[in-house]
Every structure is written in structure tokens, then in C-alpha cells.
Structure 1
Amino acid sequence: MKIKGYFLNLSEVAQMSNFEQYSGALFDLHGVIADTSKYHLQAWHQLATELGVEWTSTLAQSVVGMSRSDAVTAILHAGNLERQYSVQQQTALGDHKNEMYLKLIAHMSPADILPGVIDFLNDLQQHHFGIVLASASVNAPLEIQRMALESYFPLIVDPATLAHNKPAPDIYQQAAAMLNRSPQQCLGFEDSQTGLAALNAAGVISIGIGEEAEIATAQVKLPNTSALSLANIAQMIG
């Protein structure tokens, strides 16, 4: 691990900030591992347009990090259309959006991995952190495969098994349980208000990546994925 030109081992980092208590790393996917949020937003935008719902910045911000069904509900609510669609029809709308999304990511590859992510994942593995992907997207396993990241993410939470998705804490509680760790022993990585709300509610150390306004509720704030390192995080927690 390198910081300010020096190499640190994990025991030294632990002395800096009692960092040794953390041994799990729980990741969102979109905007944290890969820049695919734009494809999700493009597909949701297209669905809203088809429904005659005005696509605003507020609506776009609200659907980031949401499950498919919750995002459909948000779009219908924005257009006062909730009562016009049955549960089955809303599911069909979500499936239609997913079809559009899958077409957009058909050529996804390791080139879509954000800067610094591979180095950070290697850093985590070298220091024996358990790693879990905790994305609200049911497409997450496919995207991980297309980016050739399976060796880093053998554990992926299935959002279909959850009673409630983000911003509820369920997904991160389950991710921690998959590692046989408590949420308080884990670091969580998110780029949206919805995801950070889930981390904070679960009791996971929340690490926000991105613009200050979007990650204001994070306990640790990083401007971009290039800033990801255990040394940086240990110093900021300490």
C-alpha cells in the first residue's frame, strides 16, 4: 500500500486509525465499479418519454440506485399515473426498460471499469478483505461477467431475495452476513443518496464517491474512484 511515496502494511494503517476492525468491503456497481449509470438513466428517460412523463433532473436523481420496481413507481408518480397501471403492467414496464438497457450495454467490457478500481480491489484482496457486490440491479452478475471481474466478486447479493431494496438497509445487511461479519466491520462504497442512505441505515461505514452534493451524507467522501485506497480511507476514518 502506498501513500505519500511510502509503502505501508495493514498493521501500520491499523495503528493510524484502529482500522483493523474492518474486514469487509461492500460495493455498489453503477458509478462505483463501472460508469453504467448513464445507460440506466438513458433507458429510464426513454421509458418516461414513452409514458408522456417529463424527465427532470429531480426525477433522474431520484431513480439512481433504486430497484427496477421502485424506479417505475417513481416515474409513474411523477406523471400522476400510478392508478392507471396494474401491478402486472408496472412489472411489464420495468421489463421493457430492462430490454432497452441490455441493448445499451451489449458491448460492455473491461474498458468500462472506472479508473483505480482494479488496483483497489487488488489492495483489498491482498489485505484479506471479504468483498461483496450489493447492487440493486438484477443485471449485476451479467455486467460483472462482461467486465471480467468474477474473481473479485464471487459473492453478489440477489436483490430479488430482499424484502426491501435501497434506501432500506436490507441489501447491505445481507451483504455483511454473506461474509459472516457485522455491518460495523464493513466498508461500503456508493455514489448516490439512495445507496448512502442504505449504508448508513445498515451501520456500515459509508464511503461516497463523486460530487459533494450527491454524497453529502457519506462518512468518508472521495472525489472519484482514483482516490480509492485503504491508506486514504484509514486516514479519513481516523
Structure 2
Amino acid sequence: MSKIKACIFDLDGVLVDTAVYHYKAWKRLANEMGFDFTEHQNEQLKGVSRMASLELVLGWGNITGKTEEEKEELATRKNNWYVEMINQMTPDEILNGAQEFVQSCRNAGLKTAIGSASKNTPLILAKLQLATLFDAVVDGNSVSKAKPDPEVFLKGAEDLGVAPADCVVFEDAVAGVQAAKNGGMKAVGIGSPELLNQADVVVSGLDKITVAELENL
């Protein structure tokens, strides 16, 4: 192996695709406030924190004058709908090859962690029965700065006891790839090569990369 000693995974869009649930919940909120919400707009919320997402949604709907308290109430309402949906999730929703790839990283002696903005990370990992595959979990409950700030990944590296330069991050969002780079880590993009052009390599999913290929990063 190269000096890669740890793999840090974003959750949404890398191990599981919860974007459809976010979309349905934001759309319901927008519709209740009298405007529509598109899948294209939902894409722009990838990797963005809940309150920052709400600000974008309110902006798209030209909704102004909301107090901080009202914003908290709106974000909570959206999240409650989202949680209702993810409570129905099963391990069948794990993305192709994701569980196998994480296991192969562990089999190769690499440490593994989750680095996600989602405050619902523990619930999702429990529903997918994936929690035991990770040595550390850093999520929106334990960090305050949103990607592209590298805080979530730097804390993951710290919790694993591995230097940032010895970590590779797996991300599907532009802000997430930027966060990995800002933290001095390698980045594997999951998705579009055009969109994730700052990543060291881009694949369509974790079923399209092997642990051996990490040596070449």
C-alpha cells in the first residue's frame, strides 16, 4: 500500500442516496409556502447544512422577513418529514458495492470513518446496519463549519489518529471535494468528472474502484 492509512466517507450520495427524501421534504415545505422546488435546486443543496439549505430555499421562493425562530421552525418541520422517510429505510438502499468496498478497506488494514454534514447520520447508519464498519463517525452533531471548510474531515482524521495527508476522502459534492483538498487530503469523487474536476480521480460509484487503486492517488 501507499501511505494511505484511512478512508473517510461522506454518507449521502456515496454510501446511500437520501437525496430523493431531501427533495420530497424540501418540496413539501416550499409548496406549503406557495412556491415550487425542483430537482435541479435539490442538487445544489448537496453537502450543504440544514440552515444554509433553508436560506437558499427561501431565496428561491423570494421569501423574506423570517425571524431566526421562524427559520428554525421551518427547518425542523422539513427535517421531521425527512426523518419519517428515512425511518423506513432498509439495507437494500445501500448503493451498489459500497458496503463491500468499505469492508475491503478494513480488510486491507485501513481505518474508516464517516464525515457527513447530516445530523441524521447515526439514524441512517443504524437503518442500513452499517455502523460497525466505521472506526469513527463525524457528522453535523459534532462540527459547526460546513463544507468546503475541512472541519468534518480533519476531525475524522484526528479521531482515527491519522495525519490528513494519509487520508483519502470519498465525496459526491463539489463542496465536499473542496473540503478534502482544503484539509490536505486526497479525494475520490463519486459522480460527474466534469463537476468534480478537483478530485484526484472520479468514479461513478464505489463498485467502480478497488483498494489497490488507492495506491496510485
Same fold (TM over 0.5): yes
TM-score of the two chains, using structure 2 as the length reference: 0.92
Question: What does 1:89-168 correspond to in 2, within 5 Å?
Answer: 89-168=70-149
Q: Which letter maps to 1:189? A: F
> Measured at CA, do residues 158 and 225 of structure 1 come closer, stay the same or move farther in structure 2, by a change above 3 Å?
closer
* Secondary structure in 2 matching 1:151: helix
Which of the residues 201, 204, 208 maps onto 2:185? 204
Distance 1:51 1:213 in 2: 35
CA distance in 1, matches of 2:163, 2:105: 18
- Secondary structure, counterpart of 1:213 in structure 2: coil
State which of 55, 65, 68 in structure 2 corresponds to 1:73. Answer: 55
- Residues 1:122 and 1:33: Cα distance change in structure 2 (over 3 Å): same
CA distance in 2, matches of 1:126, 1:168: 30
Q: Percent identity?
A: 29
Return the TM-score normalized by structure 1. 0.85
In structure 1, what is the equivalent of residue 29 of structure 2?
Answer: 47
State the one-letter code of the partner of 1:49: N
Q: Distance in 2 between matches of 1:189 and 1:117?
A: 11
- Which amino acid is the alignment partner of residue 84 of structure 1? G
> RMSD of the TM alignment (CA)?
1.7
In structure 1, the gaps of 5 or more residues are: 1-13
- Asked if 2 retains the 8 angstrom alpha-carbon contact of 1:220 and 1:233, the reply is no
1:191 to 159, 172, 179: 172
Equivalents in 2 of 1:161, 1:35: separation in Å? 22
CA 1:53–1:212: 2 relative to 1, 3 Å: farther
2:44 aligned residue (59, 62, 85): 62
Moved more, 70-79 or 47-56: 47-56
CA change 1:226–1:121 in 2 (3 A) is same
The amino acid across from 1:141 in the alignment is P
Deviates more, 1:157-166 or 1:21-30: 157-166
Moved runs in structure 1, 4+ residues, more than 6 A? none
